Structure 1
Amino acid sequence: MKLRIGLIGLGDQWQSMHRPALRMLGDRFDVRAIYCNVSKLAESAVSEFQADPVDGYQALVTRDDIDAVLVLENSWLRFHPATAACRAGKAVYWASDLDFDPIRDREFKNCVQDSGVAFMAGLPRRFAPATLRLKELIATHLGSPRLIFCHKRLCLEDAPLKRRDQITRRGVEGNLGDDSRVDPEEIRARMTRTELMQLIDWCCYVVGERPLSVMSANHSPEEAADYQALSLLFDDASSGRGARKHFTTGTPAATSNGSSTDSVRSNGEHKGVTAQVSCGSYIPAQWQEAIGFRPPAAMQVCCENGVAFVDLPGTLVWFDDAGRHQEFLEGESPVGEKMLGQFHRAVTSLVRNLSGLEDAFNAAAILKAARTSLHEGRRVDLGDLA
């Protein structure tokens, strides 16, 4: 079945991810309409895909020749395009901002759930060839994870200026070019939150469960700190699985008793999985050479029978009793193709799948609990997460 789709925004990853994927998947997707405020980019895409230019997202989602909508850009519109698409009965692929608030944005979540349409959030780390291969090795050679180290080094000093230009160009902060109301620190904090949510979801996906508790530490008390670290505790990945639901395709995790943290402790010792997640922007943008110097592995996983080092998208080095094994997976399908292929299956399947929505809100709830941990100076139990 060929899906007739409309594009809302083209975003920073249009040229590198979404455009090549749509070209390769021309047998599954037919781009019918495009709404984008960047005129030159819109004209190029309209010409390439022989699509119709549209003046607004409302006009796009109400077209009869549209089956699904791809929201590919962060903007001041936030959830309005996705909400309009759901109310119009169109499936939604969400590659926009993942900076969800589990309380404030509950109305949006309920709207998607009540609409009956398919919804997929863009979580690219899950679909990276190195991640998929790591999951295979955990099941076959390495055994269950015990320790996970996941760090992202960001360069955000100049990011607020770039984001500010994007925002003021759309007119959300007043007149064109008037950036006096744009707070660079808020933009920086929002980008860091989004990155941390992606890392949290990545760890949950690799472990296969939701964490039981979280503890947070920042370099400074401000939300836009230049370094933030989280410690996530998971249940034992190799035992006791019958007592709790798995983190697979967004199924909420639950414990069999009221104290989830106690369930993974025996004689005061934690026997489950510990994930250390950190995100930092502590190197100024002008030190370009320093930013790329000896970058840490995107993920390091210590398992029962070995250890693996992951560099996205397609490099994996792992060690076991036999020694070192190095795999380069560049020949695999690109991440964009895998994600859009999964979206096509979600839309055409008879079984509705809202895993991306559930998992994104789960990561947001964990991050919100981490902020509580930071302010109160204690580990926060996640057993009551919805």
Structure 2
Amino acid sequence: MRLRVGIVGLGTQWESRHLPALRALADRFEIRGICEQVAHRAQRVAAQLGVAAVDGFRALAARDDIDALLCLADQWYGATPILAACEHGKAVYSAISLPLDAGEGQALRSRVEAAGIAFMAELPRRFAPATVRLKELIATTLGPPRMLFCHRRIPLSPVSPSTPPRDPDTESRDLVELVDWCRYVVGTEPSSVVAVRHAEAPGAALDDYRMMSLDFTAEGPPGNGVLAQISCGYYMPRGWEEAVGFRPPPALQVVCADGIAFADLPASLVWFDTAGRHQESLESERPVGEHMLLQFHRRVTSLVRHMSGLDDTLAAMRIVQGAAESIASGHRVRL
């Protein structure tokens, strides 16, 4: 079954991830319309693909020849295209930022659930070949995780009209992605979080570094279960290419019961056990964009209702909010 889809938003991943994936999966997806806040860009891409440039996401969601909306980039109207899809019974693939406010996030979940639509949030770290292989190794060779170290160094971009400004919300969303990745690898929920920050300047709202430790201890005092340390730094100017690339930490280091693994996305994995070093290059695997869209297609066409990723994203948001409480109070926060 080919899904007839409408595109809402053409973001920075359109050329590199979403368009190649849709072309590779042309037997499963057919683009019928494009809505984008920059009208001339919508018209240009629509002309290239031979589809309609639609003026407004509500008009796109209301079309009878649309089965699903692919919300691929943040636009000025936020998450309202998801609500429009709910009104018209259209499935949603969402690569956009969901509301960070807990009440708004829960209200969105209730609307999706009441509408009975298939919903999938784009969580690329989960579907990266290195993560998929890591989960296999944990189940078969490395054993259960004991400690995780997840680091992300984000080069600062010069301020420009094409670059969205960095603000506390974008910093929190960066952390949400990393928190979800660690939750997925561990396979359980953390019970507490403690966090610290370093401001760009005294009294500034923006950080140049933020770190949190998630404790997955199920019972008893903290420190007796899996521990995940997550950090996100914004202290490297993009123009310092040599410094940015100097000895970068692995994106994820996982210490397991029977070995240790180092993962760099999308497709690099090095792991060690008693037999020594094992290096795997997974470039031949299906690209992550195709893999995620295939999962979405299965969810829409199956008879089982799915809200994949929405609950996971909201859970990660609650953890990041707990980290903010920890920073403000200087204490560990129970989740």
Q: Deviations over 1:3-62 (max 9, x none)?
A: 111001111100000000000000000111111233453234323432111111111000
The 3-state SS of whatever aligns with 1:105 is: helix
Matches within 5 A, 1:43-58: 43-58=43-58
Q: CA deviation at 1:98?
A: 4.2
User: 2: distance between equivalents of 1:191 and 1:334?
Assistant: 26
Alpha-carbon distance in 2 for matches of 1:200, 1:31: 33
Match of residue 115 from structure 1? 115
Residue 192 of structure 1 and its aligned partner are, at CA, apart by: 1.6
- The answer to whether the aligner puts 1:342 opposite 2:302 as a matched pair is no
Asked if the contact 1:8/1:73 (under 8 Å) is kept, the reply is yes
Q: State how 1:1-386 maps to structure 2 within 5 Å.
A: 1-98=1-98, 100-158=100-158, 162-164=162-164, 184=165, 187-220=166-199, 222-235=204-217, 263-265=219-221, 270-382=223-335
Secondary structure of the 2:102 match is coil
SS in structure 2 at match of 1:270: coil
**Alignment partner of 2:309: what SS?**
helix
Distance of aligned partners of 1:195 and 1:160 in 2 relative to their CA distance in 1, 3 Å threshold: farther
CA shift at 1:222, angstroms? 4.9
What's the offset of the Cα at 1:108?
1.8
Structure 1 regions of 5+ residues with no counterpart? 165-183, 236-259
CA RMSD of aligned residues (A): 1.6
Residue type of the partner of 2:183? C
Distance in structure 2 (CA, Å) of the matches to 1:309 and 1:159: 33
Indicate how the Cα distance of structure 1 residues 17 and 95 shifts in structure 2: closer, same or farther if over 3 A, else same. same
Summarize the Cα distance change of 1:159–1:120 in structure 2 as closer, same or farther, 3 Å threshold: farther
Q: Mind listing any 5+ residue stretches in structure 2 that lack a counterpart?
A: none
Given that 1:160 and 1:188 are in contact with CA atoms closer than 8 Å, whether structure 2 keeps it comes out as: no
Worse overlay, 17-26 or 350-359:
350-359
2:252–2:263 contact (8 Å) kept in structure 1: yes
Between stretches 77-86 and 48-57, larger displacement belongs to 48-57
Residue pair 1:100, 1:364 contacting (<8 A) in 2 also:
yes
Deviation at 1:190, TM superposition (A): 2.3
| CA drift at 1:104 | 3.4
CA contact (8 A) 2:79 2:96 kept: no
How far off is 1:212 after superposition? 0.8
CA contact (8 A) 1:6 1:34 kept: yes
Contact 1:121–1:357 at 8 Å: present in 2 too?
Answer: yes
Offset at residue 354 of structure 1 (A): 1.1
Question: Which deviations, in whole Å up to 9, do the C-alpha atoms of 1:296-324 show, x marking residues without a partner?
Answer: 10000000000000010000000000000
Matched position secondary structure for 1:60? helix
Q: 1:152 to 1:163 in 2, by over 3 A?
A: same
Q: Distance in 2 between matches of 1:63 and 1:129?
A: 36
Secondary structure of the corresponding residue to residue 18 of structure 2: helix
Percent identical: 51
The residue type paired with residue 206 of structure 2 is: A
1-structure distance, mates of 2:323, 2:160: 24
Distance in 2, matches of 1:223 and 1:324, equals: 44
Query: Structure 2 counterpart of 1:374, which letter?
Result: I
Aligned residues of 1:31 and 1:51 also touching (Cα < 8 A): yes
Deviation sequence 1:94-129 (CA, Å, 0-9, x none): 011245322233322221121100111111000000
Give the TM-score taking structure 1 as reference length: 0.83
* Partners of 2:270 and 2:278 within 8 A in 1: yes
What is the alpha-carbon distance in structure 1 between the residues aligned to residue 184 and residue 159 of structure 2? 28
Q: Secondary structure at the match of 1:318?
A: strand
Structure 1 residue 147, shift from structure 2 partner? 0.5
> How far has the Cα of 1:234 moved from its partner?
1.0
For the Cα contact (< 8 Å) 2:79–2:97, is it kept in 1? no
